[in-house]
Amino acid sequence: MDITTSPFHAGEREVQERLGVRDKIEAFARRVVRNYLPDQHRKFYEMLPFVLLGTVDATGQPWASLVAGKPGFITSPDSRTLDIAALPIHGYPLIETLKPGADIGLLGIQLETRRRNRLTGRIGSVRQDGFTVEIRQTFGNCPQYIQTRGVEIISGGDNAEDDRRIGHNDRLDGYTRTLIENSDTLFIATAYSEDAENWSHGADVSHRGGRPGFVKIEDDRTFVFPDYSGNNHFNTVGNIVRNPKAGFLFADFDTGSAVYISGEAEIDWESPEIAAFAGAERLIRCRVNEVITAVNSLPLQFNFNEYSPMLDHTGSWEQAAQTLAAEKERNQYIPYEVFDLRRESELITSYYLHRVDGKALAAYAPGQFLPIRLSASGASGADTKIARTYTVSDAPNGDYYRLSIKREGGTAQASNFFHDQVDRGFSLEAMAPRGKFILDQLSNRPAVLISAGVGVTPMIAMANHIINEGNRTRNFRPTYFIHGAKNSSAHAFREHIERLDNGYESFSKFICYSEPEENDKPGVTHEADGRIDIALLKQVLPFDDYDFYICGPQPFMQALYDSLTELGVREERIHYESFGPATVFRQKPKPVPVSEPGVAGAAPVNVSFSKSGVDVEWSPDKGTLLELAEAAGLDAAFSCRSGICGTCATRLQCGAVDYVEEATGPHSDDEVLICCSTPRTMTGEKSCGDDCGVVLDL
């Protein structure tokens, strides 16, 4: 191939740039996209009983169809030519498009093995029993989302015309709706009609697969389906971006009928359904112009074998609808039930929760926490209402939340109650997950997950999500899992992390034990004795540009944060979460957004903590009232730091506040949630006078 020429046209490049893969895929594609067929691909086509075609009619409308014959009906006289000894099957609407010089796209697909090869070219010669294709561009496709089926060539059915009728319509009728709504496979033809001399110009035909029902009928002229991760070439999507005309083929694998659809397609990048539909990266929607139904036209018999294992990483429209409905209930407490428990270490147990009503869960990002509330019986026998937040310790899956809770001992009411009294069947309530400590899923930098103790819980969620995405997209983000535990008895998720370390080259673990037991041996149960510090990170991590995620006790996080910033790591590359009495204090001022611009920003504001007798001057760089109290040395109660749990509710004796986040946690009319609020100015009706803006009972 001419390595000075990009294998991609303007539409494909536009999509690649939009999604941040342009440079990487360009370099890769120049090695794999060819203007000839290697010998193995020439032999591959000769094995096939059918091949998909994409052609374009006189109006520029693409159509998808197939030609079939006994294996060997396709031959390759040379590496730049295919000879096809067959014509399109009965009912194909555009036999006249097969003429010398016309653009054509081919998809060779072997359903039994999930192997496929795509090529574009032009028709060379046409004869009574077939035609030749002059190859312009070809490459192998990944096997994702292909359902395996055995395929045999047959006669094509009875010759009686009433058994091979052709139907025409301008919309989807009952049969076509049923076929489409139950399909697990479709073929889509598109075309790039600009720049005829560009070797990316021309027609294309591609495969799309999913769970039965992955195509949704929106009305009798419109259908939509999720577009999953592929090879990042974006041939189909890039064509649609520049030319919305598209043709579809739905094969009825049971009856041998074929449905051809022409219409206009669009790419939906923004719909809320994209995030709600597991695996979807965008939606493709088609507006139907013409429908041709060819009954009993396929000269092939298909025997289903199994669905693609990649479908395990995808959702359904029903589940997406339930997820969107759950999003509307984000700030409502919903009944949940503990349906399973698993002990992770001597102090940590995982509790698996699903909704009592059986509906899908609200979506969440890896690292977020779940606000819960429950009734706990105390020593007196009276019930006490408890509100807490616990990190969701597994990647999003749509079926359950997992909370991995450490027994804190002493007077820790909630964690002790879970370990002592919660069993399968226990009921509690929960809102949707939330929190700012989340994995940046758009970054392609290696992720360094650093934790100590029960701080491992968000890191497990992040690690599992990275691996799940790698399995789904075949693009594995390098991940370094660095964890500190007391010893093997206290080490939670040890076997799980070992499986990831052994099973994925992109995943690397390093475990430290601060107080190893007699049977704990470096190199066997863990990598090193001691604690995690910056010297260890320098030793373990190769030189690179990383995203750091830190979770553990406050001194542990503060030390790592300070050391990383001293090394020159930018603050925006360091993400952290705390679960103790304080959080990391940044070395640089952190601006705080305000709910009413110009109000809270009128600093400084004097804040009085009346119970403690402490007066402090607030300005936006000092963060929330909770952060102001902590900086002043006060021991303020908190849990979620996001206005959810209500733990930080404090009586407002005088003044007014602005909320920087929605305050949904329980609090009375004379209380404020100090974790997500800032003081107002010392002027106005609700001020405390010229000397003080806010007085808190703390």
User: 10-313 and 329-430: same fold?
Assistant: no
Q: Are 246 and 289 in contact (CB under 8 A)?
A: no
What are the structure tokens assigned to 286, written together? Answer: 């088609």
**How many angstroms separate the CA atoms of 415 and 418, rounded?**
5
**How many angstroms separate the CA atoms of 121 and 134, rounded?**
5
**How many angstroms separate the CA atoms of 138 and 36, rounded?**
7
Entry pTM: 0.80
Q: Are 46 and 232 in contact (CB under 8 A)?
A: no
**How many angstroms separate the CA atoms of 186 and 200, rounded?**
23
- Distance between alpha carbon 653 and the CA centroid of its chain, in Å? 46
pLDDT exceeds cutoff 70 at 196: no
Q: Are 584 and 578 in contact (CB under 8 A)?
A: yes
Nearest CA-CA partner of 577 in 547, 548, 551, 549: 551
**How many angstroms separate the CA atoms of 453 and 519, rounded?**
20
Q: Tell the burial category of 8 from Cβ atoms under 10 Å away from its Cβ (0-12, 13-18, 19+).
A: buried
Domain chopping of the chain, boundaries:
10-313, 329-430, 447-578, 605-696
Nearest CA-CA partner of 35 in 134, 137, 133, 119: 137
The topology under which CATH files domain 447-578 is: Rossmann fold (3.40.50)
**How many angstroms separate the CA atoms of 679 and 395, rounded?**
37
Segment 297-356, tens digit of pLDDT? 899 999 999 999 999 889 999 999 999 999 888 878 899 999 999 999 999 999 999 999
Q: Are 460 and 393 in contact (CB under 8 A)?
A: yes
What are the structure tokens assigned to 569, written together? Answer: 């790591």
pLDDT band at 91 (very low <50, low <70, confident <90, very high): confident
- Which CATH number fits the domain 10-313, given the four candidates 2.40.50.140, 3.40.50.800, 2.30.110.10, 3.30.360.10? 2.30.110.10
Total residue count of the chain as it appears in this document = 698
**How many angstroms separate the CA atoms of 549 and 274, rounded?**
27
Segment 514-557, tens digit of pLDDT? 999 999 999 999 999 999 999 999 999 998 899 999 999 989 99
pLDDT exceeds cutoff 90 at 684: no
Nearest CA-CA partner of 304 in 147, 482, 409, 172: 147
pLDDT band at 496 (very low <50, low <70, confident <90, very high): very high
DSSP labels for 194-227? S-TTSTT-EEEEEEEE-STT-SEEEETTEEEEEE
Residue partners of 310: CB distance under 8 A and separation at least 6: 144, 145, 228, 471, 472
Reported CATH class of domain 605-696: alpha beta
pLDDT exceeds cutoff 60 at 2: no
Mean pLDDT along residues 16-33:
89
Residue type for 482, please?
A: I
What are the structure tokens assigned to 150, written together? Answer: 């055995």
Beta bridge partners of 50: 68
Segment 275-301, tens digit of pLDDT? 999 999 999 999 999 999 999 889 999
Segment 553-606, tens digit of pLDDT? 989 999 999 999 999 999 999 998 754 444 555 554 444 443 443 344 457 889
329-430 carries CATH number 2.40.30.10: yes
